[in-house]
Structure 1
Amino acid sequence: MAFPQLLHSPSSSLTFKPSLNPNSSSSNPNPRHLIKPPPKTLAPFLTHHHHHHRRRRKPNLLRCSASSFSEKHHTGSPQSDDVVELPLFPLPLVLFPGAILPLQIFEFRYRMMMHTLLQTDLRFGVIYSDTATGTAEVGCVGEVVKHERLVDDRFFLICKGQERFRVKKIVRTKPYLVAEVAWLEDRPSGDGGEDLETLASEVETYMKDVIRLSNRLNGKPEKEAQDLRRNLFPTPFSFFVGSTFEGAPREQQALLELEDTATRLKREKETLRNTLNYLSAASAVKDVFPSSS
């Protein structure tokens, strides 16, 4: 399935920044690039998003940021056994509940979708798609919280992630995808389940360490990151953590599809621990070869 053309650029490409691809090394020789990151690592650095980040972003950047995670974003959400029709927007990115996604829309079929949404409930499904794996079955509702319509009928959108969903059946494919979807929620942990608060705190600690070392490797001040959770409950915090793994959309998709908060936090903890190990090794190489920086 072809990707919607959202960004008007000479290359007509979709770009992500910053990248977390460990293989995207510079062409200049650097001893740090000799260190191969272990599996499930987000090296060379983790993107840090603050919950109340207010820096103005250009509207034509296609990126997902966790700048507005709500403590109660599950309140009043549809029941998991409800089946509804939802227009779908396939994108090479993953939207998480509570995250903010700026989009620019100028492809004709999605301009048509926007005209319909503006007259209804302003909600559509963002679903991950790429040429290698195809279109995922699990996505996240994006609710339009702000929009600007330009004279040439393009749209600038600010969307916020809401409920997750699973595609049950494709209803139609023209002019854009519409599917029957069922809502997806995390299941309660089993008897004697995990201490979610402890897991969330451990994940936050790893995040702080990764941010600190990442800053060091990038020549930034090594000041410790402050409260990353901002009193978020474990489930929305786990979505926030997943949203910071920019540049690793398949890992993000796997996290989005999990239906257990403890399992999601454990997987994020493992990824962050591997990333920290990689950054520690890269930092040691930098200390031995300071000129390589």
Structure 2
Amino acid sequence: MPEIPLFPLNVVLMPGTPLPLHIFEERYKQMVDECLESGGEFGMVLSDDSGTREVGCTASISELVERYDDGRLVILVEGSQRFKLNNILSGGPSGKPYYVGEIEYLQDEEATGDLQALAEENIALLERVVEAATEGSVDIEVEPPYTNLSFGIAGRIEFELDTRQELLEIPTEKGRLERLKELLSEAAERLESTRQATEKAKTNGHLRKDWRPDEQQGGGE
């Protein structure tokens, strides 16, 4: 059973998505330095008041952004591969000050059916969410075989941690895209409704810019 350095944190990392990390604890500074030297990865798992989850994602350090004089580090990592955490080790013969996890890597179950329509629906919904929230647009490629497209989309939305963890644990890309479609539909409708209400509120009690004194109310004569 593989063993990897473990970084429990109140964060959900997803495959293919970037994440900046500020490392200040001595044990994790050592862990990061060892990974930088060896080129190895460490595992990230969501840990909060509800405990440590069983499914996490390995993190590959893509950039050492800054190293401060006191040893603190700012790094940029990218999610690599989902894993199941079977056991957490600390101390022991290795003498490591940080946690080590006994894990098994998770592979997606074989996809069934054509994902193209489902993928395009999710992209369209993401466009709606981004437009309603920021009036911006989305630049994301949609090409077969859509591997980890769900994580790429979810990484652009600030879902609650439990929702992100739910998506991480779904064992198929089709299942993740189906769940994501539900989440994005709800978010788009909520944001669009809020935006319409805000725009309507801005006009209450104010004359339209194109209003003329001779206009008749109701359109009658």
Q: Which amino acid aligns with 2:29?
A: R
- Does the CA contact (< 8 Å) of 2:148 and 2:173 recur in 1? no
Counting aligned pairs with the same residue, the percent is 34
Total equivalences in the alignment: 199
What is residue 282 of structure 1 aligned with on the other side? 194
CA distance in 2, matches of 1:248, 1:213: 19
Q: How do 1:224-263 residues align onto structure 2 when only pairs under 5 Å count?
A: 225-229=137-141, 231=143, 233-263=145-175
Tell me the CA shift for residue 194 of structure 1: 3.5
Match of 2:107 among 185, 188, 211: 185
Partner amino acid, structure 1, of 2:101 = A
Partner of 2:53, secondary structure, is strand
Shift of 1:137: 0.8
Q: Distance in 2 between matches of 1:265 and 1:165?
A: 20
CA distance in 1, matches of 2:118, 2:51: 33
The 1:187/1:247 distance shift into structure 2, 3 A limit, reads: closer
2:75 to 141, 157, 162: 157
| Runs of at least 5 residues in structure 2 that lack an aligned partner in the other structure | 205-221
Q: Secondary structure of the equivalent of 1:187?
A: coil
Counterpart of 1:243 in structure 2: which amino acid?
Answer: G
Name 1:206's counterpart in structure 2.
125
Q: Retained in 1: the 8 A contact 2:130–2:138?
A: no
1:269 aligns with 2:187: no
What is the one-letter code of the residue matched to 2:118?
A: L
For residues 36 and 131 of structure 2, the distance between their equivalents in structure 1, rounded to whole angstroms, comes to 43
Cα distance change on mapping 1:226 and 1:102 into 2, 3 Å: closer
Q: Distance in 1 between matches of 2:181 and 2:152?
A: 13
Give the Cα–Cα distance (whole angstroms) in 2 for the partners of residues 150 and 287 of structure 1. 46
Q: Tell me: higher relative CO, structure 1 or 2? Use CA pairs within 8 A at least 6 residues apart.
A: 1
TM-score of the aligned structures, taking structure 2 as reference length: 0.82
Instruction: Give 1:144's aligned residue.
Output: 61
Q: Using the alignment, how far apart are the partners of 2:9 and 2:26 within structure 1? A: 16
Q: Deviation of residue 88 (structure 1)? A: 0.8
Q: Which runs of 4+ in 1 moved over 6 A?
A: none
CA distance in 1, matches of 2:200, 2:68: 54
Secondary structure of the 1:175 match is strand
Task: Report which of the two has the higher share of helix.
Answer: 2
In structure 2, what residue type is equivalent to 1:116?
Answer: E
* Alignment equivalent of 1:113, drawn from 31, 37, 43: 31
Task: Give the counterpart of 2:11 among 88, 93, 97.
Answer: 93
Residue in structure 1 matched with residue 84 of structure 2 by the alignment: 166
